[in-house]
C-alpha cells in the first residue's frame, strides 16, 4: 500500500514528546511490512539542518493559496531508510524557528497559519507529484484540517488523492483552537464554519475538524478510546468523539526496538539483557554519578522522564515531599515544561540535595540513562493517551509506578493483583495513592528475588507494532 503520514513531529528530527517516536516507529514498522511510506513534516530549522536532510532535493516550489493571497513554499524530499520518504514542507517565515510550537513560555501567535500552510503544502505536493495514496494518515490537531482540505482539493481539481483518510488522536488536551476569523485562510466553504463543521464555542478547532471529517479515527490505546467519550477525559469534545464512536478504534503504540533496546543501546555506558543484568548496574552508577550522588548508593532509585505538565501528575510527586525526606532513596527527574512545576522540582532538589536531582533539559541520551539506571519509573499521569515511557522502562527492567488511566492501564500489570504476570505498580490518581505505590516499591526493593523476577518479566515484554499495523491495514483498506 502507499501510505502517507502527516505529523508535526518526527524522531530523530524534531521531538517534544511521544508523538515523534510514535510516528517514526509506526512508519518504520509499516515500511518493514513492504508498504511504501511517505511522511510529511514541517521543515523546521532543526529538521532542515539535520545531517539526513543535507541530501534532500527540492522537488517543488508550490504557491499555496492562503485566503486571498498566495504564499510560496518549498518541498524537500529525502529517504532516511528503504521504503520511507520524508517530505519537508518549508517556508522560512513559518518554520525556520528553533522550537516547533512556541518559545516555551507561550505558543507562537501564527500557529494557525503555520499549520494551515503545512496541511495545504501536503495537499499540493500530493496533487502535483501525483502521489496517489491508499491512505493519508493524519496525527493530532496540527493535521486536523488535512482530511477536509484533501477532499476539497479533490472536488476542485477532479483528482483522487487518497482512498482513505485516518486521523489519530495522540492527545485530546491539545486541540488547536483559533479565532474563527482565520478560517478564511483555509479557502474551505463557509458552511463549514458552523457547529456541524469546525466551530467550537465560536472558534475554529482543528482537532474537531480531524475527528469529524476523517474517514476513520483512531487513538493510541483502547482505554483512552473509551475515556475520551466521557466528560472527564473528553476536554469538551466528548460529544464529537462519541459521534464517531462507530469509526473510532484504540490501537496501542509499539516500541521501536532499533532505538529502545537495552541489549544494543548505543546511548548507554553499558548494555544488558535478561541473561546478564550487569550492565544495568553500570548504568545505575553512571546515572548517580552524573547527578552528583554517590555511585555506590544501594537503595532504590526513582526515575522520571516527562514533559513537566499537569497531565504527568508532577504535582502528585511534589505532594510526596515528606516521603523523599524520610526515606533514603534517590529521585532523578529529567524534564522541562510548566515553570511552576519546574520550580517545584527545583526547590525539592535544593531542599534535599542528597536525595533529589532535576535535569531541566531535553536530553535524549539522558532519557535513556534514567530509563536504564533507575529501579522504578514514576509516571502518575492524570490522563495518558498511550504513554511510551512506561513501555520503555519495562523493557529496560525499570519497574513503572503508574496510574490506572489510558495506555498506562493497558500496558502495565500490577504485580500484587496479578502475581504471575505483574510488571509494575498501579496507583490511584491522588497524592496518597502515589505514596502507597512508593512504599510498595520500597518493600519490593528489599525483596531482591521478587524484584528481579518482576524486572525480567517486564524486559521480556514485546510491545511490538504487529497488531496495530494489522488493524491499520484493515482500516486503510475497507
Count CB-CB contacts under 10 A for residue 11.
18
Least distance from ligand GLC to the Cβ atom of residue 437, Å: 19
Residue closer to ligand GLC by CB (options 11, 376) is 11
Count CB-CB contacts under 10 A for residue 230.
11
Least distance from ligand GLC to the Cβ atom of residue 278, Å: 31
Query: Under the criterion CB under 6 A, does residue 177 sit at the interface with ligand ADP?
Result: no
| Binder of residue 116, out of ligand ADP, ligand GLC, none (CB less than 5 to 8 A by kind) | none
| Binder of residue 307, out of ligand GLC, ligand ADP, none (CB less than 5 to 8 A by kind) | ligand ADP
Residue closer to ligand ADP by CB (options 315, 363) is 363
Instruction: Give, as ranges, the residues between 18 and 47 that touch ligand GLC (CB under 6 A).
Output: 18-19, 22
180, 110 contact by CB (below 8 A): no
Site string for ligand GLC, 164-183 (x = CB under 6 A): ------xx------------
| Binder of residue 402, out of ligand GLC, ligand ADP, none (CB less than 5 to 8 A by kind) | none
Q: How many residues bind ligand ADP (CB under 6 A)?
A: 18
Torsion angles phi and psi, residue 38, rounded to 5: -120, 140
Least distance from ligand ADP to the Cβ atom of residue 360, Å: 8
267, 365 contact by CB (below 8 A): yes
Residue 41 β-bridge partners: 88
Least distance from ligand ADP to the Cβ atom of residue 312, Å: 7
349, 358 contact by CB (below 8 A): yes
d(CA 68, CA 74): 20
Q: What one-character-per-residue DSSP string does 227-256 give?
A: HTTSTTTSTT-HHHHHHTGGGEEE------
d(CA 265, CA 361): 21
Count CB-CB contacts under 10 A for residue 102.
12
| Residue closest to ligand ADP when measured from CB atoms | 18
Q: How many residues bind ligand GLC (CB under 6 A)?
A: 14
CA gyration radius, the chain: 23
Instruction: Give, as ranges, the residues between 195 and 234 that touch ligand GLC (CB under 6 A).
Output: 220
232: cell is 472527564
Instruction: Give, as ranges, the residues between 309 and 338 that touch ligand ADP (CB under 6 A).
Output: 334-336
d(CA 159, CA 130): 9
Q: Which stretch binds ligand GLC (CB under 6 A): 14-22, 61-69, 153-161, 176-184?
A: 14-22
Instruction: Give, as ranges, the residues between 357 and 376 that touch ligand ADP (CB under 6 A).
Output: 362-364, 367
Cis, bond preceding 14 (omega within 30 deg of 0): no
53, 78 contact by CB (below 8 A): yes
Residue closer to ligand ADP by CB (options 206, 306) is 306
215: cell is 474517514
Residue closer to ligand GLC by CB (options 253, 398) is 253
Question: Which one among 9, 21, 256, 375 touches ligand ADP, defined by CB under 6 A?
Answer: 21
Instruction: Give, as ranges, the residues between 371 and 410 that touch ligand GLC (CB under 6 A).
Output: 384-388, 407
Instruction: Calculate the dihedral angle through the C-alpha atoms of 16, 22, 27, 28, rounding to the nearest 10 degrees.
Output: 100
Question: Which one among 29, 331, 388, 427 touches ligand ADP, defined by CB under 6 A?
Answer: 388
Q: Which of 185, 177, 166 is nearest to 202 (CA)?
A: 177
| Binder of residue 363, out of ligand GLC, ligand ADP, none (CB less than 5 to 8 A by kind) | ligand ADP
Alpha helices in 298-384 (DSSP H): 314-318, 321-326, 339-351, 364-373
Instruction: Give, as ranges, the residues between 247 and 286 that touch ligand ADP (CB under 6 A).
Output: none
Least distance from ligand GLC to the Cβ atom of residue 312, Å: 9
Chain residues binding ligand GLC by CB under 6 A are 17-19, 22, 170-171, 220, 253, 384-388, 407
Chain residues binding ligand ADP by CB under 6 A are 17-19, 21, 305-307, 334-336, 362-364, 367, 386-389
Amino acid at each position: 500500500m502507499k501510505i502517507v503520514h502527516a505529523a508535526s513531529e518526527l524522531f530523530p528530527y524534531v521531538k517534544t514528546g511521544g508523538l515523534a517516536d510514535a510516528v517514526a516507529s509506526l512508519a518504520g514498522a509499516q515500511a518493514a511490512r513492504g508498504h511504501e511510506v511517505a511522511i510529511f513534516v514541517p521543515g523546521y530549522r532543526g529538521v532542515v539542518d539535520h545531517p539526513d536532510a543535507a541530501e534532500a532535493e527540492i522537488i517543488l516550489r508550490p504557491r499555496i493559496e492562503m485566503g486571498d493571497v498566495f504564499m510560496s513554499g518549498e518541498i524537500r524530499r529525502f529517504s532516511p531508510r528503504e521504503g520511507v520518504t520524508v517530505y519537508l514542507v518549508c517556508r522560512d517565515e513559518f518554520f525556520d524557528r528553533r522550537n516547533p510550537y512556541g518559545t516555551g513560555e507561550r505558543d507562537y501567535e501564527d500557529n494557525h497559519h503555520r499549520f494551515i500552510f503545512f496541511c495545504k503544502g501536503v495537499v499540493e505536493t500530493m496533487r502535483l507529484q501525483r502521489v496517489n495514496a491508499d491512505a493519508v494518515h493524519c496525527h493530532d490537531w496540527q493535521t486536523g484540517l488535512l482530511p477536509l482540505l484533501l477532499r476539497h482539493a479533490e472536488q476542485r481539481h477532479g483528482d483522487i488523492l487518497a482512498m482513505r483518510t485516518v486521523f489519530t488522536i495522540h492527545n485530546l488536551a491539545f486541540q488547536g483552537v483559533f479565532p474563527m476569523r482565520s478560517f478564511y485562510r483555509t479557502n474551505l466553504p463557509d458552511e463549514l464554519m458552523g457547529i456541524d463543521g469546525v466551530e467550537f464555542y465560536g472558534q475554529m478547532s482543528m482537532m474537531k475538524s480531524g475527528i469529524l471529517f476523517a474517514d476513520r479515527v483512531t487513538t493510541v490505546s483502547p482505554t483512552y478510546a473509551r475515556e475520551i467519550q466521557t466528560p472527564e477525559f473528553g476536554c469538551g469534545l466528548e460529544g464529537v468523539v462519541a459521534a464517531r464512536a462507530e469509526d473510532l478504534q484504540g490501537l496501542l503504540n509499539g516500541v521501536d526496538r532499533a532505538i529502545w533496546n537495552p541489549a544494543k543501546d548505543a546511548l548507554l555506558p553499558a548494555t544488558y539483557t535478561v541473561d546478564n543484568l550487569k550492565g544495568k548496574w553500570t548504568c545505575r552508577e553512571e546515572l548517580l554519578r552524573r547527578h552528583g550522588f554517590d555511585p555506590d548508593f544501594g537503595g532504590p532509585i526513582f526515575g522520571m522522564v516527562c514533559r513537566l505538565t499537569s497531565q504527568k501528575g508532577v504535582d502528585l510527586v511534589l505532594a510526596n515531599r515528606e516521603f523523599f525526606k524520610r526515606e533514603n532513596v534517590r529521585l532523578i527527574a529529567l524534564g522541562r515544561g510548566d515553570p511552576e512545576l519546574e520550580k517545584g522540582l527545583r526547590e525539592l532538589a535544593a531542599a534535599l540535595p542528597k536525595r533529589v536531582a532535576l535535569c531541566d533539559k531535553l536530553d535524549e541520551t539522558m532519557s535513556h540513562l534514567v530509563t536504564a539506571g533507575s529501579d522504578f519509573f514514576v509516571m502518575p499521569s492524570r490522563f495518558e493517551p498511550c504513554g511510551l515511557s512506561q513501555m520503555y522502562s519495562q523493557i529496560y527492567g525499570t519497574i513503572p509506578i503508574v496510574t490506572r488511566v489510558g495506555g498506562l492501564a493497558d500496558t502495565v500489570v500490577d504485580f500484587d493483583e496479578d502475581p504471575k504476570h505483574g510488571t509494575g505498580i498501579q496507583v490511584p490518581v491522588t497524592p496518597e495513592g502515589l505514596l502507597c505505590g512508593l512504599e510498595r516499591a520500597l518493600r519490593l526493593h528489599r525483596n531482591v528475588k521478587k524484584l528481579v523476577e518482576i524486572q525480567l518479566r517486564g524486559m521480556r515484554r514485546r510491545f511490538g507494532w504487529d497488531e496495530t499495523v494489522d488493524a491499520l491495514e484493515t482500516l486503510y483498506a475497507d
